[in-house]
Structures are given as C-alpha cells and as structure tokens.
Amino acid sequence: MTGNHILEIRNLTKDYDGKVILKGISFNVREGEFITLLGPSGCGKSTTLDIIGGREKPNGGEVLFEGKDLRPIPANKRQINTIFQNYALFPQYNVFDNIAYGLRIKKTKEEIVLKEVATFIKKMGLEGMEYKKVNDLSGGQKQRVAIARALILKPKILLLDEPMAALDVQLRKKMQNELKNLQEEIGITFILVTHDQEEALTMSDRIIVMNEGKIQQIGAPEDIYNEPENR
Ligand SMILES: Nc1ncnc2c1ncn2[C@@H]1O[C@H](COP(=O)(O)OP(=O)(O)OP(=O)(O)O)[C@@H](O)[C@H]1O
C-alpha cells in the first residue's frame, strides 16, 4: 500500500424515481487497499459500486480517480472492472474464450491473447479446464474464471459485488482466503460489497459501514469490531 488515494468519493447522492438512495456518501480509497462496503440489503452499497464502475450516474457529488473526475469517462474506458454475484460469464463460451473476451474486444493480437490467457489459467489454477463450458464448472471454478476475465484487462481497481453470496459456507471460506491472497499477491485495489460481517472483518484493510444511504463508520476491522457504532 503506497498511501496515495486512488479514488476519492465526495458527497455522492442518488435517487431512483424520487426515492433517495444515497444521501451524501464520502470516502477515500488508498492504492492497493482492500476496502469493504458493509451494510444491510437496500442500504445503497451496490448503487455506490455502480457509480464507481460507470453503470449508474450520481445525481450529485464527485468521483475522482487518480485525482481526475471520472464522471465523463464511460464504463468501458475506466481502469476499473467488476465481478458480480452471478459472475455474468458467457454460458455459450468455454473457459478460455470467457477469459479471452476482453482482450479480443480490444482487438489484441491473438498471439498475445493466447499467452495472457495461459498465464491467468495457470494463476487461477484452471489448467485442464480451458475447453469446458462454464456451466459445467463448480461455483468456485466459475468465480476463478470471472476473476481471471476481469484481471486480464489489468484494471487498477477491482469491484466485487457480493461475489461469494451464492456459495455454500465451506466454499465461501475457501474463496475468501483465495481472494485475499490473490489481492495481496497482485497488489491492486479491491472494493468489496457484502452484507456479511464476518466476511468484511476477515478480508478488509478497512470497512465502510453503510445504513440507509449514509456512512455510519469507517475503520479497520479491529476498530469496527471493538467499537461498533451500531449493531
Ligand atoms: N435501477 C434501479 N431503479 C430503481 N431502484 C433501484 C435501482 N437500483 C437499485 N434500486 C433501489 O435502490 C435501493 C438500494 O439498492 P442497492 O442495490 O444499492 O442496495 P444494496 O445495499 O446493494 O443492497 P443489496 O445487497 O440488496 O443489493 C434499493 O431499494 C433498490 O430497490
């Protein structure tokens, strides 16, 4: 962690059809940090992530990436990728083609695509599965394909929207460890959304506790655990 702020969120507001969802959200994210947005269903965690990723526009406030206003930059031009709960993989494609997708869209030379995909297949422990359809994979394997597909584009920030919510408890623990180790190894910034307190406490450098469109507390896991400002 270098201590520089890769992302600055200032006073974000958002409403859908007159219903206020975000009521002025502000926080900074340091480069290389593992940060978690924790809060109950409907508190605005995913909406915050969608604004950072460029899938939604805020009504007010600013998002700065490396000090520059992100708002005019379309989602596909941001150095930010997202992993969703259902992974949004292409079921008709095999593992290799799913991972290769982003590079091919960018018209990367096939020679480089082959090399890069092979690197990520190895890194994610997916050797031998290259030609399997993604629907024939286990939940954990699907998650690894989704991670490889996102990381191959070399984003500076990876957004993770409840990626482990669909996994059973044992696999969830395993994938939490894997994800944490991977983040430490590659050193890029992760922003995780979860409603699972234990997940937030075990994985994060800092936790942002949200409720009803507001931030209630920001702190290291031990601070949040020892001195919670609410339940
Ligand atoms: N595109 C949309 N149009 C209308 N309302 C929306 C839209 N997206 C989200 N909402 C509403 O905004 C509120 C906050 O949703 P959001 O997904 O940000 O919450 P969350 O904290 O991530 O919760 P969850 O874990 O349930 O996704 C919810 O009441 C949701 O119904």
Shared-domain flag, residues 71 and 166? yes
188-213 pLDDT tens trace: 999 999 999 999 999 999 999 999 99
163-176 pLDDT tens trace: 888 788 888 898 89
Q: What is the DSSP string of 174-230?
A: HHHHHHHHHHHHH--EEEEEES-HHHHHHH-SEEEEEETTEEEEEE-HHHHHHS-S-
In a domain, 117, yes or no: yes
* Contact 42 CB / ligand 1 (< 6 Å): yes
Q: Which pLDDT score, from 0 to 100, does residue 228 have?
A: 75
* Contact 194 CB / ligand 1 (< 6 Å): no
In a domain, 85, yes or no: no
C-alpha to C-alpha distance for 129 and 136, rounded to whole angstroms: 10
Other Cβ atoms within 10 Å of 64 Cβ, number = 16
Q: Which pLDDT score, from 0 to 100, does residue 3 have?
A: 55
- CB distance 160 to 191 below 8 Å: yes
102-111 pLDDT tens trace: 999 989 999 9
* Contact 90 CB / ligand 1 (< 6 Å): no
* Contact 46 CB / ligand 1 (< 6 Å): yes
Q: Whose CA is closest to atom 17 on ligand 1?
A: 46
Shared-domain flag, residues 52 and 99? no
Shared-domain flag, residues 180 and 131? no
Last residue of a domain, one of 154, 180, 209: 154
Domain span at 139: 90-154
Last residue of a domain, one of 154, 173, 188: 154
- Going across the sheet that includes 68-69, the strands are 19-30, 5-16, 60-65, 68-69
Atom of ligand 1 nearest to the CA of 193: 22
Res 1 pLDDT > 60? no
In a domain, 98, yes or no: yes
**Which CATH number do you get for residue 20?**
3.40.50.300
Q: What is the pTM of this model?
A: 0.92
How many folded domains does the chain comprise?
2
Shared-domain flag, residues 69 and 176? yes
Res 30 pLDDT > 70? yes
| pLDDT-above-90 percentage for the chain | 75
Shared-domain flag, residues 56 and 148? no
| Residue linked to tokens 């584009």 | 153
- CB distance 155 to 83 below 8 Å: no
| Residue 61, phi then psi, degrees to nearest 5 | 100, 180
Which region, left, alpha or beta, applies to residue 223 given φ > 0 means left and ψ of -120 to 50 means alpha?
alpha
Tell me which of 17, 37, 46 to substitute to probe ligand 1's pocket, judged by most ligand atoms within 8 Å of the beta carbon. Answer: 46
ipTM of the prediction: 0.92
* Contact 47 CB / ligand 1 (< 6 Å): yes
Using the mean position of ligand 1's atoms as its centre, give its distance from the Cα of residue 42 in Å: 5
- CB distance 162 to 138 below 8 Å: no
Q: Which pLDDT score, from 0 to 100, does residue 138 have?
A: 86
Last residue of a domain, one of 154, 184, 210: 154
Res 126 pLDDT > 60? yes
Tell me which of 20, 21, 86, 215 to substitute to probe ligand 1's pocket, judged by most ligand atoms within 8 Å of the beta carbon. Answer: 21
Mean pLDDT value across the chain: 92
Res 116 pLDDT > 90? yes
Q: Which pLDDT score, from 0 to 100, does residue 162 have?
A: 92
Shared-domain flag, residues 74 and 135? no
Shared-domain flag, residues 73 and 1? yes
C-alpha to C-alpha distance for 141 and 119, rounded to whole angstroms: 16
